[in-house]
Amino acid sequence: MSDKTFSWHKDDDQIAVITMDVPGESMNTLRDSFNDEVVEILAQINADSSLKGAVLVSGKPDSFIAGADIGMLAACETAADAEAISRTGHGVLAKFAELKIPVVAAIHGPCLGGGLEVALACDYRVCSDSPKTILGLPESQLGLLPGGGGTQRLPQIVGVAKGLELMLAGKQLRTKQAKKLGLVEEAVPNSVLLMVAKKWALKGKRGKVTPKLAGISKALEATAVGRNVIYDQAAKAAFKKTQGNYPAVAKIIEAVKIGREQGMEAGLQAESKGFGELVASPESAALRSIFFATTAMKKETGAGDVQPAKINKAMVLGGGLMGGGIASVTALKAKVPARIKDIAEPGLQNALAYTYKQVDQRVKRKQISAAQRDKQMSLLSTTTQYDGVSDVDIVVEAVFEDLKLKHQMVKDVEANCAEHTIFASNTSSLPIGQIAAAAARPENVIGLHYFSPVEKMPLVEVIAHDKTSPQTIATTVEFAKKQGKTPIVVQDGAGFYVNRILALYMNEAANLVLEGEPIEKLDKALVKFGFPVGPVTLLDEVGIDVGAKIAPILLNELGHRFEAPSAFDKLLADDRKGKKNGRGFYQFNAKKKGAKPVDESVYQVLGVTPDGKLSAEQLAERCTVQMLNEAVRCLEEGIIASARDGDIGAIFGIGFPPFLGGPFRYIDSLGADSLVATLRKYQQRFGERFEPCDKLVAMAESGERFHR
């Protein structure tokens, strides 16, 4: 095997076929160590006067270039080091433009980040029409901007407004979308991709590209005044989503603006400078840590060296919202046949409709055919009895939070399914050991806690009790991964990890409302802090009654710090359950567009008059410090295996601000001593619920950190 990544040969049509194939890797990623190879090959091609064109292809079966290897950024000690990587990359990609012959990128599979920047440096781009082919510049999701000329070349091809939209959101395009925007010239079957690419290579060097624009977009982009409107609108829209917490947003807009108004050379300089500054930023360091953590977790079974058993068929107990969602990701993502059982036909029909709506929407968007939709739906079947389930490998239970009911489910499954069948409970609060107490085979019982809506939320908690076998853990973790989830293995206990830390956050928000803090102000403070929605909005969405049911379980199992404020009882007495019955903290029947207004009558129900004495920073601090403290307590008790798992669980499960890196990285940035001092300040004022846990106190004294 060659140790070279790039090679080339001249075919019979006098076309230079350049192949990228990183040795020993399943996907191509870019590294700065490849630069000399590329420059040398392009020099050889330029020196051959018989060549008529060049085509860049991948040597991997299903990957063009998945992006740059961001691991190389860890070696950057300063912003200048990262800036130098970007500048060198600019120089290498400029060599493509300097070729005397046209060069075409033949794209099949992921073409992301630096991979798309390489393709943008070519004269033409053609791609396969395979669903495996996606194109985009997702660097903003790592707190970075495209550092290989993407901020300059993408707007030249698709227009300033669309270029900004794609980069700021890190949006990935399917082939039809890319073709419509003019990002690629053609989308063709992979079997003829190279042939079509060669056809384009014989067309000659391309001149200036004109974006496909019409109407107001064309008018705005034609003048400096119009483009300023685009920059301003992009900044406002991005700020509304990010609350100014992600510095990459401003840097991307700045680089695009400089390049468009002052020329590409100035734009590239701004891009490199911005790239260096962002690599050195704490926000990007935190976001990159999430990437590395999730990458590492993909290789883990959750049970050491134990390998998972294969899941050939699944069953879901309960056709409600959660059951329908679980069945959906089992069929559509894992591609595993799923049999849904409910006591009544309406529940089964609702569960099927849940999945059908998703796949039918894809048909309407012309992403799949009606036949493909029907094939996917055929993986789902229903029953009101335990028939056709003797061969299921895993049962996911998603019924009401009632221990007696779950005990009956365990017995029914053991009576009707195989000896090896795993019983996985989607309980959000009941200890798994208590559910397994009714089992003849407790080693097969495990928790598999999803978050709503199931098809969108990336996390699942895999909860092992003291008798769960390693084989059951490994198989359940693998099943969750196939469903497209990021699983964290947690030990048994009330609330597990995510709901346990969330409960204290929600309780404190309720305490603040009872103290007279305005609901809307409180929610805005936590959104500004970095959560996707505020705690009061979240309570309305999840259901006030759900919070009220979980609270006694946590109080009974974990002690008085989990005692729920009186707000929950008062709201339920007034029949306020939140979104599910249209009565909560906010008005659900308001005709006004935009954000829902607060239902002012809720203050009377709670017996408070809002006055709002605290600042946004004080509100955010008060709500979050108990969550941080409880996260450390979960690590101390062994509920979570590591600070890494705790960070991923909080970010993917409840939307803890990603740019802070998770609770444990955030504590590192604050300093354990600072957090302990804050907790003790609140403890003196509000009591023992703010008492810092032993591990946090010890770390404050020693100066220890959770992450290096």
Angle of CA points 482, 533, 450, to nearest 5°: 25
Q: Do 443 and 467 touch, CB atoms closer than 8 A?
A: yes
**Could you tell me if residue 653 is inside a domain?**
no
Residues 402 and 425 reside in one and the same domain: yes
Residues 429 and 540 reside in one and the same domain: no
Token reading at 478:
């693998």
Overall domain count for the chain: 3
Distance CA 364, CA 355 (A): 15
Residues 138 and 265 reside in one and the same domain: yes
Find the CATH number of the domain harbouring 346.
3.40.50.720
**Could you tell me if residue 546 is inside a domain?**
yes
Distance CA 58, CA 670 (A): 45
pLDDT average per 10 residues of sequence, the chain (708 residues): 84 94 92 91 94 96 93 92 96 91 97 96 96 96 96 96 95 94 95 96 85 84 92 93 94 97 96 97 96 93 93 95 94 96 92 93 86 94 94 95 93 96 93 95 97 92 96 97 96 93 96 95 97 94 85 89 89 90 87 80 94 94 98 97 97 96 97 98 96 97 94
User: Would residue 300 show up in a list of annotated catalytic residues for this protein?
Assistant: no
Residues 90 and 138 reside in one and the same domain: yes
Residues in a beta bridge with 423 = 395, 445
Burial code (b: 16+ CB inside 10 Å, e: under 16) for 411-447 equals ebbbebbeeebbbbbbbbbbbbbbbbebbebbebbbb
Token reading at 426:
């989607």
Residues 91 and 175 reside in one and the same domain: yes
3-state secondary structure 148-190: CCHHHHHHHHHCHHHHHHHHHHCCEECHHHHHHHCCCCEEECH
Residues 128 and 223 reside in one and the same domain: yes
**Could you tell me if residue 708 is inside a domain?**
no
Find the CATH number of the domain harbouring 272.
3.90.226.10
Residues 155 and 254 reside in one and the same domain: yes
Residues 139 and 247 reside in one and the same domain: yes
Q: In what order do the strands lie in the sheet with 486-491?
A: 380-383, 338-341, 314-317, 394-397, 422-425, 445-450, 459-464, 486-491
Read off the pLDDT of residues 221-259 as tens digits, 9 standing for 90 and up: 889 999 999 999 999 999 999 999 999 999 999 999 999
pLDDT value of position 594: 66
Angle of CA points 457, 463, 468, to nearest 5°: 145
Among 139, 221, 397, 461, the one annotated catalytic: 461
**Residue 47, CA atoms < 13 Å, CB-side half-sphere:** 6
**Could you tell me if residue 288 is inside a domain?**
no
Read off the pLDDT of residues 566-597 as tens digits, 9 standing for 90 and up: 888 899 999 999 888 889 999 988 666 667 89
Q: For residue 449, give Cα distances in angstroms to 307, 354, 399, 454, 490.
A: 21, 19, 12, 10, 10
Q: Which of 460, 489, 518 is the last residue of a domain?
A: 489
Residues 274 and 318 reside in one and the same domain: no
- What's the DSSP call for residue 382? E
Q: For residue 505, give Cα distances in angstroms to 161, 535, 656, 664.
A: 39, 8, 11, 16
**What totals of helices (H) and strands (E) does the chain contain, helices first?**
29, 17
Q: For residue 118, give Cα distances in angstroms to 68, 96, 123, 193, 207.
A: 10, 9, 11, 18, 18
Find the CATH number of the domain harbouring 586.
1.10.1040.50
**Could you tell me if residue 303 is inside a domain?**
no
Residues 471 and 512 reside in one and the same domain: no
Do the strands 124-128 and 486-491 form a parallel or antiparallel pair, or are they unpaired?
unpaired
Distance CA 101, CA 93 (A): 15
Q: Tell me the torsion sign for CA atoms 54, 60, 66, 68.
A: negative
Q: Among residues 676, 700, 679, which one has the least CA distance to residue 688?
A: 679
Q: Which of 470, 489, 508 is the last residue of a domain?
A: 489
**Could you tell me if residue 587 is inside a domain?**
yes
pLDDT value of position 593: 65
Q: Which of 489, 511, 527 is the last residue of a domain?
A: 489
Cβ neighbours around 80 below 10 Å, total = 12
Residues 164 and 238 reside in one and the same domain: yes
**Could you tell me if residue 64 is inside a domain?**
yes
Residues 148 and 240 reside in one and the same domain: yes
Residue 580 sits in which domain range? 499-639+671-702
Burial of 673 (0-12, 13-18, 19+ CB in 10 A): middle
**Could you tell me if residue 302 is inside a domain?**
no
Provide φ and ψ at 576, rounded to 5°: -105, 110
